[in-house]
């Protein structure tokens, strides 16, 4: 069994592609190479598929598959030329014999996925999907898009802000508060990345996401909902080292084949900084 086949089977156990929002997302095998690296027995994890990340991965002769949370290809491709930066990077991987797999929203929506990981950092409480997904083998109460967290004990918005900062190891967040000092909140709606299309389906005291548009923020404030924004990939990146590395290693160890090394990129980072 090839390394890409093992990666595909592992993700079907952890985050099946049937859980993704296939109306727009591009998940699963993005690039299958005709001539895989002969000694490629390592899987390389990244959130974004950038030139720095690809260079880092290809310099390591052990890397056989790049798992890029965000797919480098979303729209249909009519030409394979180096004029397109993303296609150029994909072709570099093909030339090097390194395959590409993207889990994206399947990893958001699965149990113990990115959104559950985010919710776990806010506090103890009951977590349920905002939009449940009915998929064989998964209860509708645990799989689906977004998460609504009902805290066991209500807290203030500044308390949530500090918890998020500590959990995601961030010094600054962007906050639009609809609450006064001392107001208690209990229901937090959560969606990693750009979350408004999911979060606007539910009523909550607080929205936690990576990014919102200006007008989406104003709409939330009008309904007395505070908004906490961490920047897009900051709501996703920590999941790779905190959860996914161990989950993949466990599945690889159980499949009876050769050991697989799981590596997290050192150069993958949020492009926006607050100064």
pLDDT in tens, 147-163: 999 999 999 999 999 99
Nearest to 35 by CA among 10, 60, 4: 4
pLDDT in tens, 227-268: 999 999 999 999 999 999 999 999 999 988 899 999 999 999
Q: Does residue 140 carry a pLDDT above 80?
A: no
pLDDT of residue 184: 98
**Residue 232 in marked binding region:** yes
pLDDT in tens, 60-73: 999 999 999 999 99
Under 8 Å between Cβ of 110 and 128: no
- Full set of structural domains in the chain with CATH: 3-106+237-264 (3.40.1390.30), 111-230 (3.40.1390.30)
Under 8 Å between Cβ of 197 and 211: no
Q: Does residue 136 carry a pLDDT above 90?
A: no
pLDDT of residue 127: 97
pLDDT of residue 219: 97
Q: How far is CA 50 from the centre of its chain?
A: 16
Confidence of residue 212 (pLDDT cuts 50, 70, 90): very high
**Residue 205 in marked binding region:** no
**Residue 236 in marked binding region:** yes
pLDDT of residue 257: 87
Share of the chain above pLDDT 70, in %: 98
Under 8 Å between Cβ of 82 and 91: yes
Q: Does residue 76 carry a pLDDT above 90?
A: no
Q: Does residue 166 carry a pLDDT above 70?
A: yes
**Residue 268 in marked binding region:** no
pTM across the whole model: 0.95
pLDDT of residue 139: 62
């Amino acid at each position: 069994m090839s390394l890409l086949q093992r990666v595909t089977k592992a993700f079907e156990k952890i985050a099946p592609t049937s859980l993704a929002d296939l109306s727009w997302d591009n998940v699963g095998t993005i690039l299958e190479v005709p001539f895989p690296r002969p000694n490629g027995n390592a899987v390389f994890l990244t959130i974004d598929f950038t030139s720095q990340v690809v260079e880092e991965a290809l310099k390591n002769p052990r890397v056989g598959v790049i798992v890029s949370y965000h797919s480098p290809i979303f729209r249909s491709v009519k030409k394979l030329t180096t004029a397109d930066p993303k296609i150029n990077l994909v072709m570099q991987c093909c030339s090097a014999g390194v395959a590409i797999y993207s889990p994206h929203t399947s990893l958001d929506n699965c149990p113990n996925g990115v959104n559950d990981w985010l919710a776990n950092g806010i506090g103890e409480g009951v977590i349920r999907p905002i939009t449940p997904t009915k998929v064989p083998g998964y209860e509708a109460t645990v799989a689906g898009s977004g998460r609504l967290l009902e805290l066991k004990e209500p807290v203030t918005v500044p308390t949530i802000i500090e918890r998020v900062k500590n959990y995601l190891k961030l010094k600054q967040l962007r906050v639009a508060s609809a609450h006064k000092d001392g107001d208690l909140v209990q229901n937090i709606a959560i969606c990693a990345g750009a979350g408004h299309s999911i979060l606007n389906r539910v009523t909550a005291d607080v929205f936690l996401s990576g990014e919102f548009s200006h007008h989406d923020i104003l709409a939330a404030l009008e309904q007395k909902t505070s908004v906490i924004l961490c920047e897009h990939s900051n709501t996703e990146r920590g999941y790779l080292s905190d959860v996914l590395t161990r989950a993949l290693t466990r599945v690889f160890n159980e499949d009876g084949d050769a050991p697989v090394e799981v590596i997290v990129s050192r150069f993958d980072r949020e492009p926006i900084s607050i100064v």
